[in-house]
Amino acid sequence: MVLAPISVISESILIYGFWRLKQYENHPESLIFWQSLAQIILDIHWFTGIETFHKAMSDFDCLFLGAFSLYFYYLSWNYILILAIEILLKIQNPVKTGYKKRRIWYHILAHLSSLVVFIIILTSGTDGASIMKTCFVEHQSIYELLAGFPVIFHFPLCIGITLYALYISAGTFIVHYLKYHLLVVLVFALSWLPIGTIHALNYKGFGVNIPLWAIYVNFN
């Protein structure tokens, strides 16, 4: 109830700033805009963990909100990975990147893959009540693996691409221009790694007992 609103306000200010400064068409601000918007939805989703709100919802309500939240969870990971790729391409060719042509495909792939996950969860027949006590993916169901997939796919790519970008740009002017974007990728990837890992390990087929302190730390 404290940290989530702070994050929502911060992201909203960032989006408002982009709008006021008309930065959406610049490279690669449209990617940051979508990532920020997705992050706002994820921050708001934590309110479904408040007991009063949670009990007021039906199983389908929680399932729908869980599928909706997972859509934006994947969208966040997708855009942060795309941002890492775009940073690398910019470093390799600072003058011409062909970004405008790629941008359309970036958006299509990011939203389409997230939509597939949304449909899978919505038609799963689960109740959406997660290990975090929020509406996300059902506790110990096989769909926990969907929440954990970015840990083994998006995260290694984000970290690997970012470290490689830093390596090849060390000592050049371009690294100073893109250092904010590199920081965004690293902070997001490291922040959501524990949550994705806990969801993956919580799948009942693995037989892992998630300690309560780990849940509380990730929830807060």
For residue 191, what is the domain's CATH number? 1.20.1070.10
For the segment 4-19, the average pLDDT, to the nearest whole number, is 77
Cα dihedral sign, 157-158-160-166: positive
Check pLDDT > 70 for residue 92: yes
Q: What pLDDT score does 220 carry?
A: 46
Higher-pLDDT residue of 51 and 150 is 150
Find the distance separating the first CA and the last CA of the chain, reported in whole Å.
9
DSSP 27-94: TTHHHHHHHHHHHHHHHHHGGGGSHHHHHHS-HHHHHHHHHHHHHHHHHHHHHHHHHHHHHHHHHH-S
CA atoms within 13 A on the CB side of 8: 12
The Cα–Cα gap between 199 and 145 comes to: 7
Position 217 scores a pLDDT of: 59
**Confidence class for position 102, pLDDT limits 50, 70, 90:** confident
Exposed (0-12), middle (13-18) or buried (19+): which is 70, by Cβ within 10 Å? buried
Q: Which domain holds residue 65?
A: 3-219
Please determine, for residue 27, whether its predicted confidence score (pLDDT) is greater than 60. Answer: yes
Q: What per-residue confidence (pLDDT) applies to 65?
A: 95
pLDDT for res 214: 66
Rounded to two decimals, what is the model's pTM? 0.88
**Half-sphere CA count of 140, side-chain side, radius 13 A:** 7
pLDDT, residue 51, reads 86
Percent of the chain with pLDDT over 90: 43
Mean pLDDT of 133-148: 94
Q: Look at the chain and report how many structural domains it folds into.
A: 1
3-state secondary structure of 170: coil
What percent helix, strand, coil does the chain show, rounded to 5? 75, 0, 25
Mean pLDDT, all residues of the chain: 86
